[in-house]
Amino acid sequence: MKTALATVTLSGTLREKFEAASKAGFQGVEIFENDLTQFDGTPRDVRLMAEDLGLDIIALQPFRDMEGMPEPMRSQKGVMLERKMEVAHELGTSRLLFCSNVQPYSSADLDVCANDLHVWADMAKREGIMLGYEALAWGYHIADYTDAWELVKRVDHPNLGIILDTFHMFSRGNTLDVLRDDIPLSKIALVQVADAPSLQMDVLQYSRHFRCFPGQGDMPVVEFLQVLKDKGFNDYLSHEIFNDEFRSSSPLNKAIDGMRSLIWLDDQTVSKKEDRIEPVCAPKISEVEFIEFAIEGESGKALTNTLAQLGFHETHQHRSKEVSLMRQGNINLILNREPKSQAHSYFKNHGVSVCAMAFASEDVKATLLLAERYRVEQFNNQTGPSELNIPALKGIGDSLVYLVNSDAAVRFFEVDFKPIQGIQGEDGVGLTRFDHIGQTVSNTDFLSASFFYKSLFGFDIDASQDLPDIHGLVVSRTALSKDKRVRIPLNMTNAPSASAQRFMHKSKGSGVHQIAFACDDIFAAARNIDREKQLPIPQNYYRDLEARFGLAPELMAKLQSHNIMYDRNEEGEFFHFYTEEVHGVFFEVVQRVGDYSRYGEANAFVRLAAQARQEVKQDT
């Protein structure tokens, strides 16, 4: 498989796009004509720039409304095509890409359209150029790839092939039957792969704003590539992505995301040529081993006071560093005050905050190899004699993700830490484990953050949820390990004053904004929290709760007295309460009854409003 992307996918100048594609490891680029038109240089300059960066220019595109046009437009199309073939020669490419006609005055007569394309293909043959024909999902007469294929077959010219674009195919609900059974490899001019979330909207707006890289959406792109591989396909896979966030992001970061998605897509399929009989699977992640806070001196006092009310105490001290450990149940919270550490650098940039977390992996070595394959940056720690060297990866924002072996004979703290004398056990208030960890990311990183967990750790990605904030809408989607033991909700917003954006402003970037702990008795846990440390929930919420669920008066009184929220569905029940925000982070305690697997989303709008009120109170 060879890799390419259309220049429209990335932001920046044409040089910046080329440099990003080259650094990310792409082999080729499609030149989007707008990028060439606005370039301050000749097509030959573009060709030399691509050669210097090790890139092939695989196509020039798009050429619109080429078939079925009335005179004199048809004749002008021929003149235009002659000029563009001259440009193609200067660029050093031998492919031009056509889109199906979108004009209402174009001919619906397939014979007329086929005759036009045959004339253009004859011109291309004389120039040694291959033409590709693509069905736009909003084409006026031809919108499905099956109809585009019928037209290409009717033309029956060696210099005309079909372009297969997954977005246009799947946004129309097309099946893969015609590709599987009818289209030969020799007639595929180019393959463009794009994904998109499942949305019901105008297809043109859908195309222009919501495409994303394979694996970041909901389209059956894996099945598509498997059909191609079964036919023996081994040519270019190219990205053509129209996305507002992509076009306002770092071109290099998005190019790396794009390369990661193509490698992942390839890994999800089997290939007889590569002798791979099974897809590449990420090693299982079984648990969150620890969360690490970056603090300095007395700066974390408010944090440790809140954690103390949640039953945490500093139970262990690192043997050689200014690092301590709080434990309760199977929850490990690291407080890193070490001056010469990644945590200290994180603290200087973001203040008191979560700088890292650790996953327990069934195969750390395999995860690291997969990270290298997917272009995920690794981080090397400084360790002292006889200390564990826990490998780490660059995670979301500036944070790290550490990896420990889930079947290790000893836990990390049994090697690097020593117990603090005088601590009476680690039972706390009955908190048992991490339930979920919420991260806020920028709107430009929302897709790449979820794909980071999907590609590298094999997490499933939930459909997006809209959370109404009093200052705008927060969009959330959750990355879940296969057994749902690890849950990472990811939040973003486009609203400048919504909670997610306020967190980004306070923490100076993406990061963990929420840590939820599981327990078996939420009322016992809540009794230990001073009422002023709890997030106050308005009385109107409990009146609404009683009306919706008809809960017993005794239970309603207990819920309200501890600011505990409630939800119920066919799977079970959910109890949860929140602490006040500390340095931008808040804690949640949850109790799941039965098989309840959600997060109390019905309560989110009340919680977000309560947090906004509390922020105003704290600021005054």
State the binding site for a divalent metal cation.
134, 165, 192, 240
Distance, CA of 215 to CA of 196 (rounded, Å):
9
Return the axis-axis angle of helices 539-549 and 553-561, rounded to nearest 10°: 150
Q: Which residues are annotated as a binding site?
A: 134, 165, 192, 240
12, 251 Cβ separation under 8 angstroms: yes
SS3 label, residue 197? coil
CB 28 within 8 A of CB 58: yes
**Residue 17 to residues 5, 46, 188, 208, Cα–Cα distance (Å):** 10, 12, 26, 19
Q: CA torsion sign, 415 to 420 to 425 to 430?
A: negative
Q: Can you tell me the distance from the alpha carbon of 292 to that of 399, in angstroms, rounded to the nearest whole number?
A: 10
Looking at residue 619, the DSSP 8-state letter turns out to be H
Residue showing tokens 């694996």: 215
Name the amino acid, one letter, at 597: S
End-to-end CA distance of the chain: 59
Whats the size of the chain, residue-wise? 620
Q: How far apart are CA 26 and CA 9, in angstroms?
A: 13
Compute the distance between CA of residue 291 and CA of residue 335 in angstroms, rounded to an integer. 9
DSSP string, 280-318: --PPPEEEEEEEEEE--TTTTHHHHHHHHHTT-EEEEEE
Residue whose pair of structure tokens reads 């305690």 in the numeric block: 589
Whose tokens are 């291959």? That residue is 130
- Residue 458 CA from chain centroid, whole number: 13
CA separation (Å) from 421 to 298, 313, 317, 348?
A: 22, 12, 10, 32
Cα gap 166→239, rounded to integer Å: 10
The alpha carbon of residue 180 and the mean position of all alpha carbons in its chain are separated, in whole angstroms, by 30
> CA 20, CA 43: separation in Å to the nearest integer?
19
3-state secondary structure 406-452: CCCCCCHHHHHEEECCCCCCCCCCCEEEEEEEEEECCCCCHHHHHHH
Q: Do residues 4 and 237 make contact, with C-beta atoms less than 8 angstroms apart?
A: yes
CA distance 490 to 442: 10
Q: What is the DSSP letter of 582?
A: B
* The residue to which tokens 């309603």 are assigned: 556
**Contact yes or no for 417/316 (Cβ under 8 A):** yes
Phi, psi (rounded to 5 degrees) for 9: -65, -30
Which residues, including other chains, have CB under 8 Å from residue 48's CB and lie 6 or more apart? none
d(CA 267, CA 366): 14
